[in-house]
Amino acid sequence: MQKIINFFRGSVLYTVTGAFPERFLNLCAQNAVPFWGLEWLDDHTLRLCFARKDAKKARTLAEKVMCEAKAARRVGVPFFLAKFRRRYAFLAGLALAVAAVCVLSRFILTIEVTGNRAVSTAVILSELNRQGVRVGAYGPSIDEKVVSQEALLRIPALSWMAVNLHGTRAEVIVREKVPKPDIVDRTVPSHVVSAATGIITHMEVLEGQPLFQEGDTVLAGEILISGVIDVPEPQYADTDLGTRITHAMGNVWARTWRTLEARIPLEAQVKRYTGEEVTRYSLGILDRRLNFYGNSGISLDKYDKITSSHSLTLPGGRVMPLVLRVERYRGYATEPVALDAEAARTLLEERLLERLDGLVGEDGEVLRTDFTVREENGILVVTLLAECREQIGRVVEFEGQVGHILPGAGT
């Protein structure tokens, strides 16, 4: 620790020569002039160090005892800065550099977000930017607690957030909400309605009154399982007990036939690059942008814009807010090109099968498919005829209250 202090205050290494150099040591002790690193070179010569502020006084004391003190080495910050006392530009630059370090250390240069999975980092950063937490923001002016609370109110998918400032780095830690499980509200009356036309192959009635049975043909929109149940009359009684409203539930499997159609032109406009290019450079510093080009527009009629960014990254992987952006504009012209009819047909068939899988669902099954192809006015038309086995029951709610209603009420 003492070595560090001596380095900052400066020290001088003296070589003292005389008939009685020990008298010089006694005189330094009497005058409270501290020294260290004493080394005897011979009977009349010694070497020792003094603080910069005591160096001149030590030389005067040496002269009093008929000794010669020569400075062998001067070390420390004061002597280093003294070399530049006439170099005013350097001193000004050094002062500005120190001031810049002191000032910039109070601003946010990087923002790190951790703990998010479903919520994208871009959404979180966008909300933080709205709250004033952005690259280039003044750190001491940010209230981390208030920012966290406001961001949680505006991002419902998050359950917790903490914003911590570590010098020029803002650390944002989030926790996402656990999604609620799907809960069936059985207090709301409902029917099970057919989503497609087909022939019923199997029924699983969990609640409600079935209006069809296996083997029946149903149309899309018809009620399969009613939420209005007729209460049977007691034996040997002639009393109408009315109906009971319930939340109908169940699965109804049926054979269905679906027809899907897709179209694509047999001639398409494709790009052909002309070789004309315009390149622009810009530099992003904090949240400012410095353009190295004028305000002139792009002279190309049609072009593709390709942007590449190169960020300054420190050895530890920390990305700094200094980005070089290169924007390249490539001119092109369009020309008609005939498509391969077989390739177009294959593409449409694949898309139709994807649509069919989405309609049938994960539990459904495609039993048979047939494709027909025709051409109309330069457009290729592919039609898919499919036989499927799928669950066609869909729950549809209606107004009312679950429970008994007045006798004689109909469905």
What does the alpha-carbon distance between residue 275 and residue 300 come to, in Å, rounded to a whole number? 11
Instruction: Give the residue, 104 or 261, on which the prediction is more confident.
Output: 261
pLDDT score of 410? 44
pLDDT score of 238? 65
Over range 66-86, report the average pLDDT. Answer: 82
What does the alpha-carbon distance between residue 387 and residue 160 come to, in Å, rounded to a whole number? 50
* Residue 408 clears pLDDT 60, i.e. is over it: no
Three-state DSSP state, 258? strand
What does the alpha-carbon distance between residue 357 and residue 47 come to, in Å, rounded to a whole number? 93
**Distance of CA 154 to CAs 130, 148, 162, 213, 348, Å?**
11, 10, 15, 50, 42
Three-state DSSP state, 312? strand
pLDDT in tens, 127-147: 999 999 988 888 889 999 999
* Residue 1 clears pLDDT 80, i.e. is over it: no
Decide: 244 and 229 in contact? Cβ < 8 Å: yes
- pTM for the complete prediction? 0.56
Domains of the chain: 1-82 (3.30.70.260), 107-176 (3.10.20.310), 185-266+339-410 (no CATH), 269-336 (no CATH)
Percent of the chain with pLDDT over 70: 94
* Residue 223 clears pLDDT 80, i.e. is over it: yes
Over range 172-177, report the average pLDDT. Answer: 94
pLDDT score of 409? 47
* Residue 42 clears pLDDT 70, i.e. is over it: yes
pLDDT score of 234? 66
pLDDT score of 288? 80
Over range 99-123, report the average pLDDT. Answer: 86
* Residue 7 clears pLDDT 70, i.e. is over it: yes
Over range 342-367, report the average pLDDT. Answer: 93
pLDDT score of 174? 95
* Residue 187 clears pLDDT 70, i.e. is over it: yes
* Residue 375 clears pLDDT 80, i.e. is over it: yes
Distance of CA 329 to the CA centre of its chain: 28
Percent of the chain with pLDDT over 90: 50
Contacts of 75 (CB under 8 A, 6+ apart): 7, 10, 11, 13
pLDDT in tens, 83-103: 766 676 776 777 888 877 777
Work out the mean pLDDT of the chain and round it to a whole number: 88
pLDDT score of 186? 84
